[in-house]
Structure 1
Amino acid sequence: MHKLLSGGLSVEQITVAIAGLPSSLEGTKLVQLSDLHFDGLRLSEAMLTQVIEVSNAIQPDLVALTGDYVTDDPTPAPELAQRLQTLQSRLGTYAVLGNHDICPAGARAQVTAAFEAAGIQVLWNQIAYPFGTGLPVVGLADFWSKEFDPTVLNQLNPDIPRLVLSHNPDTAAPLQRWRVDLQLSGHTHGGQVVIPGLGPLPTWYQAFRRYVPKSWRPWIPYMREDCYKVVRHWQWAQGLHRVGENWLYVNRGLGTYLPGRLFCPPELTVITLTAGPPAR
């Protein structure tokens, strides 16, 4: 049933040019995973096993996790953390939390404790230096929390390139005030249903929603109020986007909600960094 609803895993490979990337980091390889929703319903055991095996075979320098590891209950977090502990990379696994990881009250502490006990560093408005001082990794609090604080970027010299992990791609809009060489996000599940040639279905539902009677909306996928408000910028639902002077990549995630995925397979992203033109 899981495969019927989600389809098979897709491994997406992109190369991103980073201005001022130290020569020692040329060819650095990242794996990004997002939106696992490990709750026994939205992510199959087979998919999780495959994802870990594929990631390890790639032998990345670093694994980036971009949120929503559980759904409505943090109880599965320790089990998931034990599984993710088997992810192999040269510099370790770094994570930020998503909106599902911070609700209900106490969930953030439980998920964070479980991950850190497994050796996964969770960043909450924090800066880490797994690559050294030449390429900091900034992890932001979830956009829907009261603690989202991009001013942590003020701690960095603007001449130094940086990676930013931020669950919700809508954060790319306020982050235009800062240098962000590459932002990695998730949250949208890629829209889950994609119409070939037209893009994610929620993008089009936004335009037509006003013409649908309110009494009908709860019965139509993606027109419920909670789905409609997932993100403001559905045009960034998946893939690589230029937002002002910054780059944003949105992973389609691994977990799947009803009515399932169509032309929008779950994703493991392989990102190769290369030196770009001089910094702005």
Structure 2
Amino acid sequence: MHWLFTGHLRVDKLTVKIANLPASLQGTRLVQLSDFHYDGLRLSEEMLEQAIALSNEAEPDLILLTGDYVTDDPTPIHQLVRRLKHLESRCGVYAVLGNHDIQLSHSKAEVTDAFTSIGIHVLWNQIAYPLGTELPLVGLADYWSQEFYPAPVMNQLNSAIPRIVLSHNPDTAMILQKWRVDLQLSGHTHGGHIVLPGIGPLVFHYKKLLKKLPIKWRRWVTFLLGDASKVVRYWEWAQGFHRVANNQLYVNRGLGTYRPGRLFCPPEVTVITLI
């Protein structure tokens, strides 16, 4: 999509406090990338190249990818991995899949195999230890899949041990309140695409807006914005950092762009420092 509709790529930096973080992991730097939608339309080669360069410039200890690498057809994943193989981090690259990555019957296997071929670890209801046993990394199945069962995975971990959780859809933060989640990284929402300064994502006010519009205009708003209720329930978590009960959630705005484009909601590379 043309830069005029996407906005310029932005690096968002934040520091996240984690209780009982081992001294050896103080200052650990993570990079999060999400929602590429690499299909020849929604993400330009120039922005993808820039995102990879900015990620490498951050000199991360770990790179985390949070889903939706393709849109419908998974075939473009083979071209995407030729770009992503240039990502650099001390402890590797880990990923979870999004709803678009499992849309067709063969999508999950094709995306997973492509990532595996360049050394990206795909987690599907699995725990990994790229930073050591004192900070596990949990990767969950997509919320809309038939395999989203966090309990068997989360119950494997001692509640005294901090952990990072990758889950594409931020709505899962409501369910994950049952367990300790020091940092959940999600995407999926694209930040809401259209954000009104001082008000927030337009889709958060979607239902109220429709009721106030003449009936003949409502279908045009629905055409432009889609049915927001089918994307997520908790639009208040559309982007940025949030506390959900005792847990912490960060939602990346993603790289790819859908109609009608982005407004005050630029594509994002996230750099997170743990303390």
TM (norm. structure 2) is 0.96
Q: 1:43 to 1:187 in 2, by over 3 A?
A: same
Q: Does 1:177 align with 2:183?
A: no
C-alpha displacement at 1:229, in angstroms? 1.2
Question: What CA deviation, in whole Å up to 9, does each residue of 1:103-140 have, x standing for no partner?
Answer: 11110111001011111000000000001110000000
Aligned partners of 2:121 and 2:173: how far apart in 1?
A: 23
Q: Which residue in the other structure is 2:254 paired with?
A: 253
> Tell me, what secondary structure is at the counterpart of 2:78?
helix
> Tell me, what secondary structure is at the counterpart of 1:79?
helix
The residue correspondences of 1:33-182 to structure 2 (distance < 5 A) are 33-151=33-151, 152-182=153-183
C-alpha displacement at 1:145, in angstroms? 0.5
TM (norm. structure 1) is 0.94
> Tell me, what secondary structure is at the counterpart of 2:171?
helix
Letter in 2 for 1:249: Y
Letter in 2 for 1:196: P
C-alpha displacement at 1:218, in angstroms? 3.9
Q: Which residue in the other structure is 1:224 paired with?
A: 226
C-alpha displacement at 1:81, in angstroms? 1.3
Letter in 1 for 2:87: L
Aligned partners of 1:40 and 1:175: how far apart in 2?
A: 35
Aligned partners of 2:187 and 2:214: how far apart in 1?
A: 30
Q: 1:223 to 1:82 in 2, by over 3 A?
A: closer
Q: 1:135 to 1:47 in 2, by over 3 A?
A: same
Question: What CA deviation, in whole Å up to 9, does each residue of 1:130-170 have, x standing for no partner?
Answer: 01110000000000001011111100000000000000000
Question: Once superposed, which parts of structure 1, at least 4 consecutive aligned residues long, lie more than 6 Å away?
Answer: none
C-alpha displacement at 1:212, in angstroms? 5.0
Aligned partners of 1:143 and 1:207: how far apart in 2?
A: 27
Aligned partners of 2:33 and 2:136: how far apart in 1?
A: 19
C-alpha displacement at 1:207, in angstroms? 2.6
> Tell me, what secondary structure is at the counterpart of 1:270?
strand
Of 91-100 and 74-83, more deviation after overlay is shown by 74-83
Aligned partners of 1:80 and 1:117: how far apart in 2?
A: 12
C-alpha displacement at 1:215, in angstroms? 6.6
> Tell me, what secondary structure is at the counterpart of 1:259?
coil
Q: Which residue in the other structure is 1:240 paired with?
A: 241
Q: Does 1:197 align with 2:204?
A: no
Q: Which residue in the other structure is 1:18 paired with?
A: 18
Aligned partners of 1:115 and 1:267: how far apart in 2?
A: 21
> Tell me, what secondary structure is at the counterpart of 2:264?
coil
Identity %: 65
C-alpha displacement at 1:2, in angstroms? 1.7
Aligned partners of 2:215 and 2:29: how far apart in 1?
A: 47
Of 167-176 and 198-207, more deviation after overlay is shown by 198-207
Q: 1:207 to 1:86 in 2, by over 3 A?
A: same
> Tell me, what secondary structure is at the counterpart of 2:65?
strand
> C-alpha root-mean-square deviation of aligned residues, in Å?
1.3
